[in-house]
Structure 1
Amino acid sequence: MELLKVSGISKQQAGAFILKDISFTLPRFRKIAIAGETGSGKSTLLKVIAGLSQPDTGEVLFEDKRVEGPLEVLIPGHEGIAYLSQYFELRHHYRVEEILSYANQLTEDEARNIYAICRINHLLQRRTDELSGGEAQRIALARLLTTAPRLLLLDEPFSNLDMIHKNLLKSVIHDIGESLEITCMLISHDPHDILSWADELFIMKAGQLLQRGAPQQVYYQPVDAYAAGLLGKYNLVPPDGLRHLSALPGITSNGKSLFARPEQFTLTAPQPDALKGKVQAITFWGGYYDIAVQVPGKTMVTVRMITCDVKKGDTVYVGWRGTDVWYI
């Protein structure tokens, strides 16, 4: 039995679709990440699932029970579903322990386990106006978890966090899934937040579900340039440029554009199945270098390397190390 079934959800605002015919099912204990440009409908979708926004058409079933919208119930929301907005608030001038006790539906031992998972034991006696942004977010998350949800919806939980608190929250969210066995859906604009975490990615555009699949599949086989760009830098060689890349193994001209991530190219020694080119630019990103190379046909490709022993203007040879070739 699916935990969640979303069927034909649509919603309009000022005559424009915010959501358009969204349908999917979600089994228990899955981790779903949603990516899309601002205004693509991601947050509205989570709110509809949580019962906090009323769809115009369609329905949401949670554990085979219809999720009612805010126009149908006195207090919006649905039992078993917890939604954390990116604009969450905690009551001011209360001790953290007090805030957490109000919504708690767990035993003392179960609650203490939640506090440990959220890394907030040392904050329980602190006042809410003394918390940093990252600390407050973990408190808000712990408060939701004390209601014993079976589905957790996180709307851009990593926004406005420094790298230290962001990495800590990532560990917390990972442990929630592993230790508490809670199904989770998460929105993020940063591919580094979702590619290593999710079991499945949803790509949204203009209120529609454009693509869904395993992270590696969506990353290396996007349906179009929009989906590709959401997950990081890419190369797109148009059909008229492909004939100059025929030396690379597996590359053919078929009327479509070649799609390749920078790490699918490499710099290699001169050989028959490599392209001669000239380095145009080098960008250091911390753990790797992106090297822009102009190859035959005045085609530009970006090559990603862990180390870099070339400089701008050098002649280099570009090889192909991708396992599969993808065209869009």
Structure 2
Amino acid sequence: MTVPLKPGSVRFENVQKRFGAVTAIHDLSLEIEPGTLVTLLGPSGCGKTTTLRMLAGLEQPSAGRILIGGRDVTALPANERDVSMVFQSYALFPHMSIADNVAYGLRSGGLSRRAAHERAEEGLALVGLNGFGERLPSELSGGQQQRVAVARALVLEPQVLLLDEPLSNLDTRLRRHVRTEIRELQQRLGFTAVYVTHDQDEALAVSDRIVVMKDGIMAQAGSPRELYEQPASAFIADFIGEANVVPCDVVRTSDGRLGARLGGMVHAIRADSAREGAAKLAIRPNAMFLGDRRPGFLDGRVLSAAYLGDHIEYEVETAFGRLFITDPAVETVRPIASEVGVGLHDRGVALIPA
């Protein structure tokens, strides 16, 4: 079986989608390179699922073009687009064996039963389910059912594999395991995948690139590291991982470099586009640490403390509002209402462009 040895590219050109008077997608232009896994990430109602459904042919754009492998598929029905979709609900037929489920699309396409089942067994082997073909879906775990859904999509040899919230029905530990399996399979086979989720950790773990959407607009696109370390807005900083967003002043330090001044603290910044003046700083919870009050630290007062095994979560009141801090120093929990100094590590602090 030649599972997507020639992965396709995807291009959205000025795509819009309107539902009556409501515009769900505003002028989306996006290119996805062959053999990459790109995640559409955002809160409910941001337009990510609508974008995926337009790519699948389940919704038609109101304007613009969609191309797969350089071919304009905007007006084509779903069955002519050379894509396969893995649904949130798995959509397995409960009365069919696993092999019959995986072979279903092949049989519908006219392949003989014998040939379809041979390819179905190859597909099950790809996802680590050798020997499971005769079982029913009810005899498999949630993670195994998800792998069956992926195998069923892959045996059709699509140019692009679409995954719509594929892990949302799994518990936390299993979700972490299955996302690793999906990423390993995509990298090993080299197929193009478009993955929709609202889970930031999931997106960071599986993606080559992440497209963050908000209110039908592409808010920022980039690698997981770029979005986490160089957020383009306060929304991105708080959505991709948690962040404390505080006002600061960008000032010129004595050595000629730029720093972000918070009260009596000046923190060196690396942003190439930084300019002197008012700005905002995104500070990750693990980028701060607590100590005694002293020069160069922010004065704070502990409002709450929660022990979580490998770290303590604090809320600390400062002149810049409440800061959420995760501290790995679990030997001693600082008491409520105690006065502390808040320091910053070098990493985990990013200047948000004006």
Indicate if the aligned counterparts of 2:8 and 2:160 stay in contact, CA closer than 8 A: no
Deviations 1:186-227 (A, max 9, x none): 111111111122121111111111111121221233233332
Aligned-pair distance for 1:258? 2.1
Indicate if the aligned counterparts of 1:248 and 1:275 stay in contact, CA closer than 8 A: no
Output the TM-score relative to the length of structure 2: 0.81
Aligned-pair distance for 1:25? 1.1
Task: Tell me which residue corresponds to 1:94.
Answer: 96
Deviations 1:92-148 (A, max 9, x none): 211111222233488988754532342323532212344444332221111001111
Task: Tell me which residue corresponds to 1:187.
Answer: 196
Indicate if the aligned counterparts of 1:4 and 1:63 stay in contact, CA closer than 8 A: yes
Alignment partner of 2:45 out of 39, 44, 49? 39
Task: Tell me which residue corresponds to 2:235.
Answer: 226
Task: Tell me which residue corresponds to 2:215.
Answer: 206
Task: Tell me which residue corresponds to 1:322.
Answer: 346
| Structure 1 residue identity aligned to 2:36 | R
Equivalenced residue count is 322
Aligned-pair distance for 1:270? 5.6
Indicate if the aligned counterparts of 1:249 and 1:273 stay in contact, CA closer than 8 A: no
1:165 and 2:167 aligned: no
Indicate if the aligned counterparts of 1:35 and 1:187 stay in contact, CA closer than 8 A: yes
**Separation in structure 2 between the aligned mates of residue 24 and residue 159 of structure 1, nearest angstrom:** 25
Output the TM-score relative to the length of structure 1: 0.87
Aligned-pair distance for 1:172? 2.1
Unaligned runs of 5+ in 1: none
**Separation in structure 2 between the aligned mates of residue 222 and residue 325 of structure 1, nearest angstrom:** 7
For the aligned residue pairs, the C-alpha RMSD in angstroms reads 2.8
Alignment partner of 1:283 out of 303, 306, 315? 306
Task: Tell me which residue corresponds to 2:73.
Answer: 67
**Separation in structure 1 between the aligned mates of residue 305 and residue 316 of structure 2, nearest angstrom:** 9
Q: Bigger CA drift: 10-19 or 216-225?
A: 216-225
Task: Tell me which residue corresponds to 1:294.
Answer: 317
**Separation in structure 2 between the aligned mates of residue 93 and residue 298 of structure 1, nearest angstrom:** 60
**Separation in structure 1 between the aligned mates of residue 276 and residue 263 of structure 2, nearest angstrom:** 9
Aligned-pair distance for 1:260? 1.2
| Structure 2 residue identity aligned to 1:179 | R
**Separation in structure 2 between the aligned mates of residue 280 and residue 24 of structure 1, nearest angstrom:** 44
- Change beyond 3 A, Cα 1:155–1:183: same
Unaligned runs of 5+ in 2: 1-6, 250-259, 270-274
Q: Bigger CA drift: 4-13 or 286-295?
A: 286-295
**Separation in structure 1 between the aligned mates of residue 49 and residue 178 of structure 2, nearest angstrom:** 20
- Change beyond 3 A, Cα 1:29–1:289: farther
Aligned-pair distance for 1:64? 1.2
**Separation in structure 1 between the aligned mates of residue 34 and residue 22 of structure 2, nearest angstrom:** 33
Give aligned-pair identity as a percent.
Answer: 27
Aligned-pair distance for 1:13? 0.4
Indicate if the aligned counterparts of 2:209 and 2:224 stay in contact, CA closer than 8 A: yes
Aligned-pair distance for 1:79? 4.3
Aligned-pair distance for 1:299? 3.0
| Structure 1 residue identity aligned to 2:181 | V
| Structure 1 residue identity aligned to 2:71 | K
Alignment partner of 1:27 out of 14, 28, 33? 33
Task: Tell me which residue corresponds to 1:307.
Answer: 329
**Separation in structure 1 between the aligned mates of residue 202 and residue 244 of structure 2, nearest angstrom:** 22
Secondary structure in 2 matching 1:169: helix
1:49 and 2:74 aligned: no
- Change beyond 3 A, Cα 1:282–1:114: farther
**Separation in structure 2 between the aligned mates of residue 167 and residue 39 of structure 1, nearest angstrom:** 25
Indicate if the aligned counterparts of 1:50 and 1:78 stay in contact, CA closer than 8 A: no
